[in-house]
């Protein structure tokens, strides 16, 4: 049996007891997680999330890229339209993890290989220091004019070795970050 047939069989089991057709479009926790595509980092398992509780964007390294910024901006606009502008707070939680394969992109040789083989610049995915890079991603969100002030941003690091998460940046609204200048030094960057 191929993978697709196996997934379809698994879905039959899921659909046989499915009783969640009434879930609203807006996630119950009013949260969007940005995390890595690594199979060891499934946010539903890591955070005990149920269907309909959060939106998840996954990419290489769980980095805030231009595409992620655009997705968040579109989601914020859709939420505002769906709630008549009444949805004041929505949480953006950035989650990176230990032993991330994207850390290999820190090597100039690896970035060169990707550029030569695929024609892609992967510099925005590079992870060299999780704490510093997560704070840098928060700064990217704060500097993006299309990201609304009311969004609340935080960051965590998931340890794939023991299953625990560590807070890297406490919750702050984008408006508060902008008022503070969204500078790395004002984000409470801990020395690592």
Whether residue 22 is contained in a domain is answered as: no
Of the ranges 47-56, 77-86, 119-128, 148-157, which one carries the lowest mean pLDDT score? 77-86
Q: Residue 147: which CATH number? A: 3.40.1050.10
Concatenated DSSP letters of 42-77: -HHHHTTPPTTS-EEEEEGGG---HHHHHHHHHHHH
pLDDT at 80: 87
Whether residue 15 is contained in a domain is answered as: no
- CA-nearest of 128, 131, 55 to 93 is 55
Whether residue 189 is contained in a domain is answered as: no
Structural domain containing residue 114:
27-184
Q: How far apart are CA 3 and CA 159, in angstroms?
A: 28
Total domains, the chain:
1
Whether residue 84 is contained in a domain is answered as: yes
Cα–Cα distance list, 175 to 60, 76, 143, 147 (Å): 27, 14, 10, 9
Whether residue 41 is contained in a domain is answered as: yes
Whether residue 12 is contained in a domain is answered as: no
Distance of CA 133 to the CA centre of its chain: 13
Question: With 90 as the cut, is the pLDDT of residue 139 above it?
Answer: yes
Q: Which residues contact 129 (CB under 8 A, 6 or more apart)?
A: 192
Whether residue 133 is contained in a domain is answered as: yes
Question: With 50 as the cut, is the pLDDT of residue 22 above it?
Answer: yes
Whether residue 5 is contained in a domain is answered as: no
Confidence of residue 84 (pLDDT cuts 50, 70, 90): confident
- CA-nearest of 175, 92, 176 to 134 is 92
Of the ranges 79-88, 125-134, 145-154, which one carries the lowest mean pLDDT score? 79-88
Strand pairing partners for 144?
none
pLDDT at 184: 43
């Amino acid at each position: 049996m191929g993978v697709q047939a196996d997934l379809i069989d698994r879905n039959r089991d899921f659909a046989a007891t499915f009783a969640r057709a009434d879930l609203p479009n807006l996630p119950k926790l009013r949260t969007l997680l940005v995390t890595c595509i690594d199979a060891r980092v499934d946010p539903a398992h890591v955070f005990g999330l149920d269907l309909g509780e959060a939106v998840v964007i996954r990419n290489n390294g769980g980095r805030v890229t231009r595409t992620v910024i655009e997705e968040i901006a579109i989601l914020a606009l859709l939420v505002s339209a769906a709630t008549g502008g009444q949805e004041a707070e929505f949480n953006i939680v950035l989650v990176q993890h230990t032993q991330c394969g994207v850390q290999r992109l820190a090597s100039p040789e690896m970035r060169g290989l990707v550029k030569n083989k695929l024609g892609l610049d992967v510099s925005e995915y590079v992870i060299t220091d999780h704490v510093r890079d997560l704070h840098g991603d928060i700064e990217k969100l704060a500097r993006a004019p299309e990201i609304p002030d009311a969004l609340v941003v935080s960051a965590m690091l998931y340890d794939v070795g023991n299953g625990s998460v560590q807070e890297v940046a406490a919750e702050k609204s984008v408006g508060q970050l902008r008022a503070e200048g969204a500078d790395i030094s004002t984000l409470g960057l801990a020395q690592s």
